[in-house]
Structure 1
Amino acid sequence: MADIIITNGIVVTMDEDRRVIENGAVAITNDRIVAVGTTAEVTAAHQAVTVIDARNKIVMPGLIDGHAHAGHGLIKTMGGGDSDQWYDACHAAYTVASTPDFWRAEARLAALERLRFGVTTGVSLLGGGDTILRTDDPIYGDAHCEGVREVGTRSVVAIGPTRPPHPRTYARIENGKATEYPVDFDRQYDTCVKLIDTWHGSHGGRLNIALITPTLRPEHIDTLGADNLAKARDQAVKVAGLARERGLVFTQDGHNKGSVAYAQELGILGPNALLSHSTDLTAEEIRIVADTGTSIAHNPSAIASILGRCPVPELLDAGANVCIGSDATAPDRSGDMFRHMQQCMHYHRTFFKDPTWLPPGRVLEMCTIDAAKALGMQEDIGSLEVGKKADVVLVDMRRPHLYPLNMPVSRLIYFANGNDVHTVIVDGRIALQNREALFVDEDEVLDDAQRETEAMLDRTGFRHMLDTPKMFWKHTRATDQIEH
């Protein structure tokens, strides 16, 4: 007796043969898939307590977001697109103006957004990048993981040290008062070890820890100074070594031309490494990525992809593994992976001035089976196959923008959005049904997020960052710069 059988759906398996079963079914027992086939085949062999009729729906693996940021959900549009103000807000919130309640509220909000968009697994850096991670004390990572656990999705939480020089000033807020204290590398490293021991592989493997160190780009090599550069190198090697020792993903944010070659010199690349952005790579760096088995998280909607280009087709043709990340949430992007798949196709087709690049099935692979490989989870998630974890998404195709119902997989990738997701199963548990979350009260999550954001704004004094930018209307550029 199975626990759940999904019948009458268009099953997009993402298995090795990329089977699409027109009148398909999936049977689930406990947290695993026990059958995939036609509805007639599966129902003849299995009965279930719960039967879900997926008529007019696509049944697909849960989407996987290869790169995003915890904390950003309560920052979002602050600064109105002014990068300096945005980073000021992130820096203050993530070091001296956030409480465990802030991190739990944001985690629940972001996880709920992912759940409603059919994203069952996502990477979340515990902060605004590689320089402002909240790793001064385990209580903040604990709060984040607890928030994700409540919603019921999978998360890979990336934690690690900040870039030298150390110490860096953090603050604990108690009874409305902030107590500042210095935080060095050793304290951040100890925090990471404690969070690994507490959370990695917990709750049926839904919660996992990754390690991150600051990317060393050419400007850092030139400006850090010999002493701090030596420390940064040693710290990167030590953290990468811990990741290998504990079987964790090792990630770095913001790679661009020259930094991948430098990472290779440090010996920190390999099959467990996941490098985000990776823009303007040299031909030699593309070779390094492929030869070391390193994965790339391409963020086509991010500002980094405006300032430079991630050579995704070239990486794929070289044999490298590439997944897609949302880089969410931020002033101009959400966690909707359908949006990012569509952006990815247009981004590279525009570059080559050729609409044949990156067919829709290829980008779906980058958000499912290839992303699972990037996280070292390809044996468990990323496709609908017998023995794998039951992470399943039902997309309602009976929608005006998705009809008529022919060429369903093309329509799914070209035209669907996260709001078309109807039902989500994570680890064999129905977490979203008829577009309603089952494990948390959505209104309570939203109210909690609003309350914690207001408290953060009071602590930082950054309410002015919510004002409409002066060049929001009637301008072709939101800048005072004059170009000649």
Structure 2
Amino acid sequence: MTLDGTRKHADLVLRRGTVIAMDPKRRILENASVAVEGTRIAAVGPAEEIEAAYRAEREIDCLHKAILPGLIDAHGHAGHALLKTIGADTRSHWMHIATPTYHHYTTDEFWYVEARLAALERLKMGVTCGVSVISSAQRSDDPIFGSNNARGYADVGVRGIVAVGPCNPPFPRKFSRWRDGVRHEVEVPFERMMEGAEAVIEAWNGGADGRIRVFIAPFVLLTSIFGSGPSAADVAVALSDHDRLMMRRVREVAAKHGVRIHTEAFGGMIRLARRCEHALLGPDVHIQHCTGISFEEAMILAETGTHVTSAPGYGQINGRCPIPELIGLGANVAITTDGNSPSTPFDLLQAARQTQLIQRMLCRDPFLIPNGKALEMITIDAAKALGWDDEIGSLEPGKQADIAVINLWQPHLVPNVMPVHRVICESVGHDVETVVVAGRVLMEGRRVLSVDEDEVLSEGEAEARRLIERAGLERHMALPSTFWGHAQGWLDEQRVDYDSLPSRP
């Protein structure tokens, strides 16, 4: 209320809900409201105080609902939204299906259509900010791919981080562009990929009124050892010349444009990378996976202030990401979806629950990752990993108004007690009812307001079917003979002809 006793103006008030603020005090406020002015949060507090102090242009009743910060997915892959389930029955060959498809059979427009669908899915799951690595093994041979991803996220209205950078050697690397339905293959040197990544940074970092950021993101931390899993100590023994070149050039680009760094790493890589003076380690870096890392590598991550992001998955059993140990050492760790193909949705609430289960089972400790910590890891801790925690990740006056509202008035979420437990233990992304980003209501009552949902779905369906035909993906969609009635599935034929692949991961 102003000094003369009149109520202050608010563009939006979310009223009478249970506010899970994720602020420094980790307040949980029953019968509370959030006032929004412009793009930012004006106030958070008891409903009667907010209603007495603010005159709202628009109100949304949140009785029997949880009001919490928008969820933040710090790692996922652009392209995957239109490749869902394809190759799900041949997981051993997944990268050899996805990478050639992205590198040789996607059109320029594919990346815009896919981005809109991915952003829409994230929006409907309550994810207000998501990282998108361009392809499964990076594609920056032309800036059109990263730029179209950014444009798609900007159109839907959520925050997007385009993670663009070079893929692994050998170089020059073969890629294809499509013109008038004809594939044209070109050979691209490493420096051209770096130039393509820089062009995306220059065009889109800070775009869409600051909702879009671009990170420089090489495919993996080291290029000389296996890029999709841990390497044994007698294999990860030395840095290659290209390892050093790549890290130096990534550091130069990051410094030149003032952007952060994102990459993936597995056991053996961190120990070797530290030997390089340009190591991609430190507070401006977040690294995905970190499965199979040694305790020494965990200490390196903690000592350097490198942020870690981890997604649940079967691969954890072959080399767990030591999340409890990393947290105990003082490292910041966030949970991600790594979505959303071949069978992983952009549902961060399910990812948090699955992460708890995996860590508890593998460590035989049912008390690991308490529910409060799990919620931190998909909100404020994820914001820290992105270097964006000054603006997003919690509900505090002055911060950006990125908000997700979960409907708790449902059989699986009643009684409405212990709300954080309800959110983490039982809720899923589809329970998110209303989403606000930068003060703009993008979804209310599960109805998307920012784009025509049916149009996005129809365009995505049509583009996916065109891709399937171009890339000959039908063979990866056929049900194996063991699909029904068997305890274990297997194939009777080899579906991936490695000799005919136009490129490798």
Normalising by the residue count of structure 1, what TM-score does the alignment of the two structures yield? Answer: 0.94
Moved more, 182-191 or 53-62: 182-191
CA contact under 8 A between 2:236 and 2:269: conserved in structure 1?
Answer: no
Match of 1:72 among 48, 73, 80: 80
Instruction: Identify if the C-alpha distance between structure 1 residues 366 and 225 changes in structure 2 by more than 3 Å, giving closer, same or farther.
Output: closer
- 1:223: how far off? 8.9
Match of 1:438 among 445, 449, 454: 449
Give matches, 1:22-421, under 5 Å: 22-128=30-136, 132-213=137-218, 214-216=220-222, 218-219=225-226, 229-253=240-264, 255-266=265-276, 267-300=279-312, 302-421=313-432
Query: For residue 49 of structure 2, what is the amino acid of its counterpart?
Result: E
- 1:261: how far off? 1.2
- 1:244: how far off? 3.5
4+ long deviations beyond 6 Å: 220-226
Aligned twin of 2:3: none
- 1:403: how far off? 0.7
- 1:347: how far off? 1.1
CA contact under 8 A between 2:334 and 2:377: conserved in structure 1?
Answer: yes
Q: Distance in 2 between matches of 1:224 and 1:318?
A: 24
CA contact under 8 A between 2:433 and 2:445: conserved in structure 1?
Answer: yes
Aligned twin of 2:495: none
- 1:101: how far off? 1.5
CA contact under 8 A between 1:80 and 1:469: conserved in structure 2?
Answer: no
CA contact under 8 A between 1:85 and 1:465: conserved in structure 2?
Answer: no
- 1:218: how far off? 4.3
Please list the CA deviations of residues 364-406 of structure 1 after superposition, one character each: whole Å capped at 9, or x if unmatched.
0000000000000010000000110000011000011001111
Aligned twin of 2:496: none
Q: Distance in 2 between matches of 1:284 and 1:414?
A: 33
Tell me how many residue pairs correspond in the alignment.
475
Match of 1:3 among 7, 11, 15: 11
Q: Which runs of 5+ in 1 are unaligned?
A: none
Q: Which runs of 5+ in 2 are unaligned?
A: 1-8, 493-505
Moved more, 42-51 or 240-249: 240-249
- 1:85: how far off? 4.1
Q: Distance in 2 between matches of 1:5 and 1:152?
A: 20
Query: For residue 259 of structure 1, what is the amino acid of its counterpart?
Result: M
- 1:241: how far off? 3.0
Query: For residue 183 of structure 2, what is the amino acid of its counterpart?
Result: A
Q: Distance in 1 between matches of 2:141 and 2:423?
A: 43
SS in 2 for 1:278: strand
Please list the CA deviations of residues 198-229 of structure 1 after superposition, one character each: whole Å capped at 9, or x if unmatched.
10011122111011123326447999999x93
Instruction: Identify if the C-alpha distance between structure 1 residues 466 and 479 changes in structure 2 by more than 3 Å, giving closer, same or farther.
Output: closer
Q: Distance in 2 between matches of 1:210 and 1:17?
A: 31
CA contact under 8 A between 1:2 and 1:46: conserved in structure 2?
Answer: yes
SS in 2 for 1:265: coil
Moved more, 53-62 or 453-462: 453-462
Give the CA RMSD over aligned residues: 1.9
Q: Distance in 2 between matches of 1:316 and 1:473?
A: 42
Please list the CA deviations of residues 323-374 of structure 1 after superposition, one character each: whole Å capped at 9, or x if unmatched.
0110101122111011011101111111222221111000100000000000
Instruction: Identify if the C-alpha distance between structure 1 residues 354 and 231 changes in structure 2 by more than 3 Å, giving closer, same or farther.
Output: closer
Q: Distance in 2 between matches of 1:251 and 1:409?
A: 30
CA contact under 8 A between 1:236 and 1:268: conserved in structure 2?
Answer: yes
Q: Distance in 1 between matches of 2:285 and 2:274?
A: 11
Q: Distance in 2 between matches of 1:306 and 1:445?
A: 37
CA contact under 8 A between 1:67 and 1:123: conserved in structure 2?
Answer: yes
Aligned twin of 2:498: none
Please list the CA deviations of residues 423-465 of structure 1 after superposition, one character each: whole Å capped at 9, or x if unmatched.
0000110001110111111111111111111111111112111
Please list the CA deviations of residues 72-120 of structure 1 after superposition, one character each: whole Å capped at 9, or x if unmatched.
1111211233135432331222111111221111111111110000000
SS in 2 for 1:262: helix
SS in 1 for 2:346: coil
Query: For residue 486 of structure 2, what is the amino acid of its counterpart?
Result: H
Q: Percent identity?
A: 39
Query: For residue 281 of structure 2, what is the amino acid of its counterpart?
Result: L
CA contact under 8 A between 2:164 and 2:216: conserved in structure 1?
Answer: yes
CA contact under 8 A between 1:163 and 1:232: conserved in structure 2?
Answer: no
CA contact under 8 A between 2:236 and 2:272: conserved in structure 1?
Answer: no
Instruction: Identify if the C-alpha distance between structure 1 residues 326 and 178 changes in structure 2 by more than 3 Å, giving closer, same or farther.
Output: same
Q: Distance in 1 between matches of 2:464 and 2:93?
A: 17
Instruction: Identify if the C-alpha distance between structure 1 residues 104 and 14 changes in structure 2 by more than 3 Å, giving closer, same or farther.
Output: same
Moved more, 426-435 or 276-285: 276-285
Q: Distance in 2 between matches of 1:407 and 1:84?
A: 41
Query: For residue 303 of structure 2, what is the amino acid of its counterpart?
Result: D
Query: For residue 381 of structure 2, what is the amino acid of its counterpart?
Result: D
